[in-house]
A and B are shown apart, each in its own frame.
Chain A
Amino acid sequence: MRGILIARWKQLLRNPWTFLCFTGLSIGFALILGLTGAGNTIRVPIAIVDEEVHEAPIISQLKQETTLQFYEMKEQDLLQFIEDGKAEVGVLLSKDSYKLVVGVESTTVTIAENIVRQTYVNYFQQQSIIDRAHMSAEEEKSLLQELEENLNEPIFTIQASNFRTDEAVIYNPTYQFLFGFSLFFVIYTIGHSTTAMLTEKKQGIWDRIILSPVSKWKMYVGNLIYSFFEGYLQVVIIFSFFFVVFDIDYNGMLWKALLLLIPYVFAMVALTILLISVIKNIQQFNVLITIVAVSMAMIGGAYWPIEIVESKILLTLAKFNPVAYAMEALKGVVNYGYSWDQLYYPISILLLMGVVMISIGIHLMERRHI
């Protein structure tokens, strides 16, 4: 078995291009979409028309917003921006009110308005509560009324959907794309690695081993361990790269995240074995793995957060999708600080899927003599 691992490893060193290519693609896409923020968060300019607004924490709160990215500019520039169509909407801020400057009617406008309104409402509420401490009974009464009115304001809330809880969604594009593309591209690396087994069988290398004193299952185990190792190496390289080069700190959860990738990579090795067991040749495999990987990535929330998916069918499909569980676990750990208790479920599902797929896959391969 050690011989198999050594042989496969040497082959990778002689011919690392596929491996490097998919590693590079993962890093590249995560960089372009995740770190630079291009292509995901829409930028909305804000301008201060009344310096008193600084007395309130409105601006700092807006800047922390992740759904849209608010950034400051001069009022004059903002108006010019909208006129030139460089932004869909801008917001002019004063202490007690705000004004939307709308260039194009779009959902961005609605979202921006809701965010800004809620920021103001929150501020007013806090203000009211703080003021209440120094008020007379009469004033208090009217204030309560005011508070109630404030609360009754229709507040736009984003539906938070998560596998089990209904907490608010944290959307962090860096992690979204870093995790998403790592999980996506590693499927190809693993597929490339496991199909080597198919080629070896076709070439007759396995026949030689069948005729030797080494048993066939050792050959399977050796090859599967190797493919697991190759896939895992890739995700470790990607995650470490971002950790070292871009100071992405995974909220201190790098180790936990890397551990979570173990059941995922295992499940993907199993999946590719299952795919190999139903195809006739490598060409078919390449088509099939592309279809499977892309649809799993889409449904599993590797390209965009699964939280924005509303279709019941898609959400049901996600329940059978290893990518969904892995994304859920990774984001859970890094964004929400899940404990092992909360991770137990996705981990066991991934392991279970892996065991089932690998068993069926090898069984079919043996039955069909491939």
Chain B
Amino acid sequence: MLELVNISKRFKQKYAVKSMNMLIERGEIVGLLGPNGAGKSTAISIMSSLVEPTEGDVYFKGQSILKKPESLRKVAGIVPQEIALYTDLTAEENLQFFGRIYHLKGAKLKERMDDVLETIGLTDRRKEVVKKFSGGMKRRLNIGVALLHEPELLIMDEPTVGIDAQSRNYILETVRRLNEEKNVTILYTSHYMEEVEYLCDRIYIMDQGNLIAAGTKEEIKRILSGEKTIVIKADRITESFINEFKTHPLINGMNVEEKQVSIMVAKEVNMFADIIKLADKASLELNSVNVKTPTLEDVFLHLTGRALRD
């Protein structure tokens, strides 16, 4: 349905996106994953025809959209990363305004507004000014606006950043329902691994402008089939403890959180003795040591040497 071929985008000397290829098939939910500054929003602007790529081409249903973006624009709904709404207007007035620019009017407009409000769960808040909405409600309306013209393809740029768990779940469910009930094709961008893991059939992972992995969840996890993750929990984590691991020859990757260190090692390696010895040396009290199969998060760690979220 939508295809990016060898897309690059350069700002001055810096590449925001480098030689990116991507394919979205009808009916799929495709995930685009990457940390801050990976180039996700830039890629989205290009594939939604807002920004011209420095190199490469974008095809929608086999036609280049660089010269003729109309066919794409008519059936695509874009949910921007920033809240693009009139905050002094009510939810209803916003929908009215954006509905009108899609030439919806009268009974049809009303019907679409009711439907969208229902979908995003804001029916009883429709008369409230957006300024007074919670972050989650704004996000939902931001999505709702993109649904007014019943898009076939929905491109969502981090629709869940900075909101509470409840709103987040609501949005995830909405995305899933749109895909299942209305057969909307969706590109879902996020830097939350678990969202993408939950929603998407296929996943693209970006870092610093490059696509570093692509495939189904299983394919991507298979990258790490020869590895395992060991999660070490302690009361506190000290600098010296971390340094010991950093220089350890058998460890392929590491992610440090407040009271927890995850390390990645080959499947056959037995690390327990070493871990206990090093903890002793750093006089740390260990709470637990767990072994688990790698997650997408670990894949990212493995591919870039960094955690997805910092």
Contact = CB atoms under 8 A, between A and B. Distances in A.
A203 interface: yes
Contact of B76 (A3, A200, A211, A213): A211
Interface string A1-19: 0111011001100110000
Contacts of A203: 82-85
Contacts of A15: 88
Contacts of B49: 211
Interface in B160-218: none
B67 interface: no
B84 A208 contact: yes
B8 interface: no
A200 B87 CA distance: 10
A213 B101 contact: yes
A208 B145 contact: yes
B12 interface: no
Contact of A205 (B84, B93, B103): B84
A197 to B, nearest CB: 12
Interface in A189-227: 200, 203-205, 207-214
A210 B86 CA distance: 16
Contact of A212 (B80, B93, B102): B102
B86 A205 contact: yes
Interface string A303-326: 000000000000000000000000
B126 interface: no
B89 A211 contact: no
Interface string A133-146: 00000000000000
Given A211-B50, A211-B73, A205 B100 contact: no
B245 interface: no
Nearest to A11: B88
Contacts of B82: 203-204
B89 A10 contact: yes
A211 B101 CA distance: 10
A213 B102 contact: yes
Contacts of B129: 14
A208 B80 contact: yes
Nearest to B148: A212
A2 B145 CA distance: 19
B74 interface: yes
Given A14-B129, A212-B73, A207 B101 contact: no
B50 A11 contact: no
A208 B98 contact: yes
Instruction: Indicate the member of B76, B83, B88, B89 with the most A CB atoms within 10 Å.
Output: B88
Contact of A7 (B48, B86, B102, B103): B86
A14 B93 CA distance: 12
Given A211-B48, A213-B103, A11 B80 contact: no
Contacts of A11: 86, 88-89
B97 interface: yes
A103 B49 CA distance: 78
B78 interface: yes
A208 B93 contact: no
B99 to A, nearest CB: 9
Nearest to B94: A7
Interface in B26-42: none
A306 B80 CA distance: 52
B100 A10 contact: no
Given A213-B101, A213-B103, A205 B48 contact: no
Nearest to A200: B86
Contacts of B73: 211-213
Given A203-B82, A203-B83, A211-B49, A7 B93 contact: yes
B97 A207 contact: no
A193 to B, nearest CB: 13
A204 B41 CA distance: 12
Interface in B56-88: 73-74, 76, 78, 80, 82-86, 88
A10 B98 CA distance: 15
Nearest to A204: B84
Given A11-B89, A211-B49, 8 more contacts: A4-B97, A7-B86, A7-B89, A204-B82, A205-B86, A207-B80, A210-B50, A214-B101
18 contacts: A3-B96, A4-B97, A7-B86, A7-B97, A10-B88, A10-B93, A11-B89, A203-B83, A203-B84, A205-B86, A208-B84, A210-B50, A211-B49, A211-B50, A212-B101, A213-B73, A213-B74, A213-B103
